[in-house]
Structure formats: C-alpha cells, structure tokens
Structure 1
Amino acid sequence: MDIRTKNKIESSLEIKVEPFRSGIRKTNPHKHHKYMEIVYLSQGEGAHTIDYDTYQIDQPILFFIQKDQMHHWNLQSDPKGYVIIMKKGFLDNSKDKQLIDLIGELSHYPSLSVKETSTINQLFDLLTKEVKLSGKYQHDIVEGLLKTLFSKLLNHSSPKVENQSTYNATFIQFKELLEGGDQVINSVNHYAELMHTTPQNLNSIVKNATGISASVFIGEYIIKEAKRMLLYTNMTASEIAFHLNFKDSSHFTRYFKRKVEVTPVQFRNS
C-alpha cells in the first residue's frame, strides 16, 4: 500500500490562504508532497495526528505540517479556522531572511496553543484577500502580513520561544535535499558535497539551527521515515531497508532496534 498523497493547491500558485473547510470530520492518513501546511483552528473539537503523535484540539491552536509528513483528522464538531499552504518556490522567491527564520522557528513546533486571537484572526482574514490580488508590490504585502502573523503567533503561543533557533537558507536547503531524494543517504559528507560546502560547515549550520549535529539530525529523520512506513504502509522490512539505503533488512532491523528499543515488527504491531 502506497502512502496517499493529496494536492490542494493549483500548480500555478506558490501560496494559498483560505478558511478551513467546514464539514471535515475524519480524513484518512495522507501527506502533501509539494508543500508545507499551517492550520489554525479557532473552533472544533477532536484530535489531529501528525506522523505518530496525536494532539487533542484545545482551540485556539496552530498545527505545522511539514512537507511529506503524514497526518489525519478526527474531529467531533464543526471546525473553524484558516489554512496556509506554502510551496518551496514561495520561499525561494523571498529575499526576506527574517520571514524564512520565522517559518523555521514555527516548524520546530508541530502544535502551538494560541493565547491571543483577535489580531491573529484579522491577519488571517487579510491574507485570504491579499494572496488573490496581483500587483507590483503584492508579494511584499503578503510577506509583510506573514511576518506579522508568524511573529504574533510566536509571541502569543505556548510553548513560548525562549532559546530561539536560527534557521537559514542553507539549513532549509539541507532539509530539502534530505527529504526530497529518492533514497535517504546516511552521510553528512554526501549532503555537504551536494551543497558545495564542507561537512564541518554543514554540521555547524545544523547544530546552530537545531542543537544537534548533522549526523544525529539525519539519523532522527531516518527513524521518522521508518516509523511512517511501518505505520502507514504494508512495505516489508526489506523494502523499507532499500528505501532508506540500508544494505539489507537485518542491518535496518539492528539500527531501528538500537534507536527505538524495539524491532520494526514489534513497533508495527504495538
């Protein structure tokens, strides 16, 4: 069984902001391959699962779903809120480092409990209108509104951002390479060569952004991918091992057990 992929944005668009669709109750596990999704709910009860973590919806609440993350909804009441869909191309066309840093900080928190809503609701409402307009300075207007919105969310949400991570374009490029390849390569040298930098420099950038080394970051991503495949597909251990670039299934099983303390089969059946 392949993981279901949904696409909710036209190919010609780089960003989309719209009200959260009313009437949604339950969705099947799926992912979005071409974009990240930021969901703000001011109404609604139930649960939202991202990868293998389930969050109870205690609104107002914000969810950050990264590209290729699995997620699904299980709602018990009519939701109300907004959705931002953002492709990599939107950020590639941005010259505003602060906006990229703010998105990086937000992406560190899959779920945020929002404390102040009046201004945030107004900003979302403005964005739904402005992203549909065209003009010489329209991209700047949208970026300005996004910066204000994301700054407000980080200032008036829990957990509070105290030790702020510094996300930059190089780190985002590294994540894109790691997440976008046909196979995951468990090698800092490999990604450093693709980015025309040294392993030491890449390690410094990743550590500054996340607090962990590049090799640990890659290892954590490999385990996340393995868990997704075990939970949401019928792929065998051999197939998962191939996708994650292990030499065989026994090597994958040993690696997984060392990191998770259970075998892949035990994790899938738990």
Structure 2
Amino acid sequence: MTTLELVVWGVNEMTEISRNQIHEIRYRPEGSYPYGLEVFRVSDLRRRTSQEGMRRTYGYTFYMLILVTEGQSNQMLDFEPCLGAAGSLLMVRPGQAHNFGESEDWDGWILLVRPDFLWPASSREDLRSGFDIERFPACIHIDAMGLERAESVIQWMRKDAACNDESSSEHPPHDLGRSTQFVEDMQSHLRYGFYALVSWLAITYRNTHFDDQRRRPTLMRFHQFKDLVEQHFVEWKSVCTYAREMGCTERSLTRAALDAEGISAKEYVLRRLGLEAKRLLIHADWPVGVIADHLGFQEATHFSKFFRRIAGCTPQQFRSVNGHE
C-alpha cells in the first residue's frame, strides 16, 4: 500500500464511522514506500475518495503543500476561506483544520510531508539553521512563470520518489529499491529538493511587509510573542504575563501585534484560544464541558459566552453547522 492509498484510506474510514469521532489522518505508510514525502494530484485523491470524504474537515499529523494548477479552489484553513486560482499555494500544518472545499472544478499538486522528514538524521546533512518551515506563509500566489517552474520541480520529485516503487511505471524495472543506501540517498535527495523548492518560493514571493528594515524589530517581537502564545495560550491568558516573560511593556507588545496582525495582543491571544476551541469541537468527541475545562475555563457557561463572542454562535451550533452531530 502506498502512502497515497493510506491517505485515501484514512479519509474513507472517516466517512464510515460516527461523525463524533476524531477526524485525524495520520501518516503511516505501508508496503514498500520508504520516504517521508509523497507527491500526488488532487484529482488522484478525489477519484479514490467519496465526495463526502473530500468535503469534511480534517486535522493532520503531517504538513501538506497544496498548489492549485487549474480552476478555482475554495479550501478552508482553520475555518477561514482560502480562495485561490491557478498559482495559489496553501501550506497546511499539523493540527490545523483543513477542508478541500465543495468545489470540484479545480486540480493541483499535493506534497505530503512527514515532520521528521524535514530534519536530517545525520549531522553531516544538518540544514536546520537555515530552514524554518514554520515561518513560511499560510498562502501565497505564484505568477505564471513561477508556477511553471514549481510544477516542473514537483514533477521531478514525483518521478524520483517513484524510483523505489516496484508498481510504478515512471521508471524501467531494475533493482534500485533493494539497496538501503539507495533509499537513504534518495531520502536526502528529496529533502534537499523540498528545501530548495520552499526556500525559492519564500525568497521570491515573500511579503515585502516583512522586508521593511524599520519594522523588523517590531516584527521580531511579534514572532517571539506568537511562539509563546502557541506554547502557553491555555494557561497564559493575560497580556501582562507575555510582556513580563519577554521583558517588554504591554504597550510595546500590543503595538507589535497591531503592526503585524492589525489586532491587539489581547485579541490575538483570545483568537488563538478560540481557534483551539473550534478545532476541538470539530476533531474531538468531547462534551463541551470537557473542552471548557481543557482550555482553562472554570465553568462551561463562561466558555460558551467566550465562544459566542469569538464565533457568533454557541459551541453546539458550531458543531452542527460543521457536520459534527
């Protein structure tokens, strides 16, 4: 079974079990496929998955880069619309809520990447100091020339990854797949290719907003704040706690958040807490009271009041609207 079949198997399985189960797809390749990266078409996934399965919201334990090559997609990422025509690239990170959307009139490439694939096992191959996928934008748009180049790179990565697949018709049959050294070398080759692709995209299409030298200190402060929020948003709900940890004033922290996101530092923390609440309501078969306790609310009523402010509806209404009965 290839990695692609496993991904599809995960989606199909979710359509057969109760809607209240955890909608999480794990990366567990079976059979002969040995790599932590796989490349396939959205249309391949769609052909092998039910329509209901493609329209559900899922969380993943791996990264996915989804490059739209034709048509107009209406994907959702963390419950926000990500509309995109050809050239739109979406980065889906582990734990995020993703939906391919209801539209089927589009196609593109999917690069499925296991987290440990990004970090080489050998110190001789260590590139971590120069590569941070977490700083890659959630969505960028590539122009026509860039799209042609990106597609060419992706297609070559797909061909190279198929070298070890005995069932693939991409290469003539030979015994390359039997060598452990070959697998290790190809894994490194694919990793370098992925680094090169993502780094080129970041350099070429990065937001000039972040290149303004005058704003870099403020933006660096915001990124530090953002990292702390990811680690502590459940137990740290006060901006003064973050400011004290960072050694700055609440005012300067709020200014950094306003400059980077257009909202206050307090609002940023509340939205992150609200996003986690949405993810749990969709992905977990937990009562609302359990979710409230998990997120640090002393009373379920306090959580419901908070959630209504964030989402404009009650937690149960949110579950119902998103197909979680």
TM over 0.5: yes
The answer to whether the aligner puts 1:119 opposite 2:149 as a matched pair is yes
Code of the aligned partner of 2:104: Q
CA distance in 1, matches of 2:196, 2:45: 31
Could you say what secondary structure the match of 2:37 adopts? strand
- Deviation string for 1:230-267 (max 9, x for gaps)? 45556432122022121110111222234444443454
CA distance in 2, matches of 1:202, 1:59: 44
Structure 1 gaps of 5+ residues are: 156-160
Could you say what secondary structure the match of 1:82 adopts? strand
Task: Give the 3 Å change call, closer, same or farther, for CA 49–137 of structure 1 in structure 2.
Answer: closer
Cα contact 1:3–1:232 (8 A) shared by 2: yes
Q: 1:200 aligns with which of 241, 247, 257?
A: 247
Q: 1:185 aligns with which of 235, 250, 268?
A: 235
Aligned to 1:24: 45
Displacement after TM superposition at 1:268 (Å): 4.5
Correspondence 1:5-154 to 2 at 5 A: 5-8=24-27, 10=29, 15-25=36-46, 26=51, 27=54, 28-33=56-61, 35-43=62-70, 47-73=74-100, 74-77=102-105, 79-87=107-115, 90=118, 94-97=127-130, 99-100=131-132, 103-107=134-138, 109=139, 112-116=140-144, 117-128=147-158, 134=185, 138=189, 142-152=194-204, 154=205
Structure 2 gaps of 5+ residues are: 1-19, 121-125, 162-182, 212-218
Code of the aligned partner of 2:99: H
Give the structure with the larger helix fraction. 2
Aligned to 1:158: none
TM-score by length of 1: 0.68
CA distance in 2, matches of 1:91, 1:170: 22
Aligned to 1:255: 306
CA distance in 2, matches of 1:266, 1:145: 41
Q: Which structure has the larger Rg over C-alpha atoms?
A: 2
Q: 1:163 aligns with which of 209, 212, 219?
A: 209
Q: Percent identity?
A: 15
What is the number of residues matched between the two proteins? 251
Q: 2:287 aligns with which of 228, 236, 249?
A: 236
Over the aligned positions, Cα root-mean-square deviation in angstroms equals: 4.4
CA distance in 2, matches of 1:150, 1:45: 23
- Deviation string for 1:103-132 (max 9, x for gaps)? 51413x3xx443221112123234446777
